[in-house]
Structure 1
Amino acid sequence: MEDLDRIVAVDWSGRIDAAGQRRHIWAGIWSAGKVSLEAGRTREELIEWLIAMSRETPRMVVSFDCCFSFPAWFLTEHGCVTVFEFWKKVAEGQGERWLARECKEIERDVRFWGAPHKRPEEFCGENLHRMLRLTDVDNKVTPKLMGEDPERAAKVKGITPKSPFQIGGSGSVGTGSLRAMPFLLRMWQSGFRVWPFESARLEGVKPQPLVVEMYTRLMTGAVAKSNETARKNYLAAKRKMDSLYSGLGRNVMQKAQTSEDAFDALVSVLEMARWSGEFARLKATKDDALRLEGITWRPRIR
């Protein structure tokens, strides 16, 4: 297998203000064994930067820590037979209409919830699973997972993936996901392959860059990453035991210690580098639901 030229892990943000985007969007970059951390870009600037880099080094993989889609039933409800059709609908303005929680001109879709709105009855009790994709459920710790893969179960213990329908409150992912989809569409239109909707094409005479969905918590494991001391202790322990971390420069370490977003980007890009040999073998899913919903990438996934 030919080595990747570049890996980028993006810690994404759904912030509406440019200043917030420049502060919270971080990219961890791996290239030829060297790692760097960068911020200071808006969503628009970041995507243009990624597209430009992909033309220089098409053997490149990019991850985003957001949901690439919604439950299959929701896409079907909106007449979308592919995720790319759904992204187009979001990009044409539907995404911002769903995010307009207090807009008097538009009737609010009550299925999009979060402060100040409570989770709707439709997603409560025995129907809670309807607000999650199959991959979101798969990333939760279950008795089955404990028996089949205790190592992975230990890593995700206490981690609860959120629903893309949640657009407010702690840990909400819906806002960032909806604001990512127009840019994912642009990357796809610029030549990026998007797994699992398409197979990777990183090898050969005409390689194409690849985009995957990432869930940072699956990379970091249990750590109070909002706490600077916890981040410092985590990185110090990794540096002693893990060769991927031992060669990191002081500047990179300092950025990851002082910023939770930089920390997420760093850990994610290093885990992607650790498992870089797997990306070229990723194949498009044949499952009808997953072809609409997507799959969160993780090491050893098939």
Structure 2
Amino acid sequence: MRILAVDWSGDLRAAAKRIRIAEAEPGRLLDVRGGLDRAGVGELLLDLRDRDEPVVVGMDFSFGLAGWFAEAHDATTLPELWDVARDEGEAWLRACEPPFWGRAGTRKPGDVELYRDTEREARDRGLNPLSTFQIGGAGAVGTGSVRGMALLGAWRRAGIGVWPLDAAPGPRGVLVVEIYPRAMTGPVVKSSPAARRALVDADPRIPAGLRAAATETEDAFDAAFAALGMADHAAELAALPARTDAPSRREGRLWLPPRGRRPPR
């Protein structure tokens, strides 16, 4: 089974300059590359779908929003929310009205739940995923997530599996899972080229020939370590079942490395 990780971008015009795709096998980084925009990533998924080897692809954007927001838009399932995001997402981003925030003149709402069930669970593990409603400011994930959600429905209708609704791909096919790269890198000041380089140079899973590519940008760094972290748990991903619990099917769910297990170094 192949393992890829995509460091996504919500940039309206320059996504191809930001998006990075990494591939790994257990214990070894195989590739880090750029050059694709969001549409190009979709084309890559379709190409992988038609090959004879199963693939799991990690995507670092939120696959859903807090359940109350989805229900307020008459969406009780993830596919329904994805269709709303396709039709209304750009208007959400332009207006930046509550519960969205992060643009100049806006404030973080204090009267609604800003996090999904899966994000609260991640926080209980000591991680710090930001709210998808934050669409501006340092570390904001909302813009990329809204533009990613707008594509998930079309991908799934084209035969791309989306976890937690769908299970591992079996003998062939593609499954995309939502990931949180910081769960694979550990604490690091990734904005510091020196800090990125120190972590990459100390990791024997990264061949010398890929170290420059893995440290070139924050996006490349995240993609590389996300792919490595996923590959170190390839057996779990190959047997990943669909989730049937209501929060997962309404809000989506992060795939995180199993608690208490450290990847080999």
TM-score, structure 1 as length reference: 0.80
Q: Is contact 2:6–2:223 with CA below 8 Å preserved after alignment?
A: yes
1:121 and 2:110 are equivalent in the alignment = yes
Q: How far apart are 1:266 and its partner, in Å?
A: 0.5
Deviation string, structure 1 residues 146-191 (Cα, Å, up to 9, x no partner): xxxxxxx5xx4xxx21111111111111100000012222221111
The offset of 1:249, in angstroms, is 4.3
Equivalent AA in structure 2 for residue 164 of structure 1: T
Looking at structure 2, the residues matched to 219 and 119 of structure 1 have their Cα atoms a distance apart, in angstroms, of 28
AA of the residue aligned to 1:267: F
1:191 to 159, 162, 178: 159
Query: How far does the alpha carbon of each residue in 1:260-284 deviate from its partner, in whole angstroms, 9 at most, with x for none?
Result: 1111111111111111111132222
Task: Look up the match of 1:291.
Answer: 249
> Which one of 138, 144, 148 corresponds to residue 170 of structure 1?
138
Task: Return 44-53 or 225-234, whichever deviates more.
Answer: 44-53
Task: Point out the structure with max Rg over C-alpha.
Answer: 1
Q: After superposition, what is the alpha-carbon deviation per residue over 1:208-238, rounded to whole angstroms, capped at 9, x for unaligned?
A: 3111001111111101111010011111121
Q: Verify the 8 A CA contact 1:60 1:202 in the aligned structure 2.
A: no
Gap runs ≥5 in structure 1: 102-107, 124-129, 146-152
Deviation at 1:34, TM superposition (A): 6.2
Cα 1:255/1:279, change in 2 over 3 Å? same
Distance in 2 between residues matched to 1:176 and 1:35, nearest whole Å: 26
In the alignment, the residues of structure 1 paired with residue 25 and residue 216 of structure 2 have an alpha-carbon distance, to the nearest angstrom, of 23
Structure with higher RCO (Cα < 8 A, 6+ apart) = 2
Tell me which of 216, 241, 260 is aligned to 2:218: 260
Contact map agreement 2:166 2:175 (CA 8 A) in 1? no
1:96 aligns with 2:54: no
Spell out the pairing of 1:242-281 with structure 2 (5 A cutoff): 244-245=205-206, 248-250=207-209, 252-281=210-239
Q: Who is 1:15 aligned against?
A: 11
Q: How many pairs does the alignment contain?
A: 257
| Contact 2:17 2:35 (C-alpha < 8 Å) held by counterparts | yes
Conserved in 2, the CA contact under 8 Å of 1:12 and 1:25? yes
User: Which runs of no fewer than 5 residues in structure 2 stay unpaired?
Assistant: 260-265
Q: What RMSD in Å do the two structures reach over aligned CA positions? A: 1.8
> For the residues of structure 2 that align with 1:35 and 1:66, how far apart are their CA atoms?
23
Once residues 148 and 175 of structure 2 are traced to their aligned partners in structure 1, the CA distance between those partners, rounded to angstroms, is 16
Provide the C-alpha distance between the structure 2 equivalents of 1:189 and 1:57, rounded to a whole number of angstroms.
Answer: 20
User: Secondary structure, in 3 states, of the residue corresponding to 1:122?
Assistant: coil
Query: SS of 1:139's equivalent?
Result: helix
1:47 aligns with 2:62: no
2:48 partner SS: helix
Return the alpha-carbon distance in structure 2 between the equivalents of residues 12 and 213 of structure 1: 11
Per-residue displacement from partner, 1:68-115 (whole Å, max 9, x unpaired)? 0001111112111210111012112x00010013xxxxxx63211112
CA contact 1:231–1:257 (8 Å) conserved in 2: yes
CA contact (8 A) 1:61 1:209 kept: yes
**Map 1:21-100 → 2, pairs under 5 A:** 21-30=15-24, 35-92=30-87, 94-100=88-94
Give percent identity, aligned residues only. Answer: 35
In 1, the alpha carbon distance for the partners of 2:75 and 2:110 equals 25
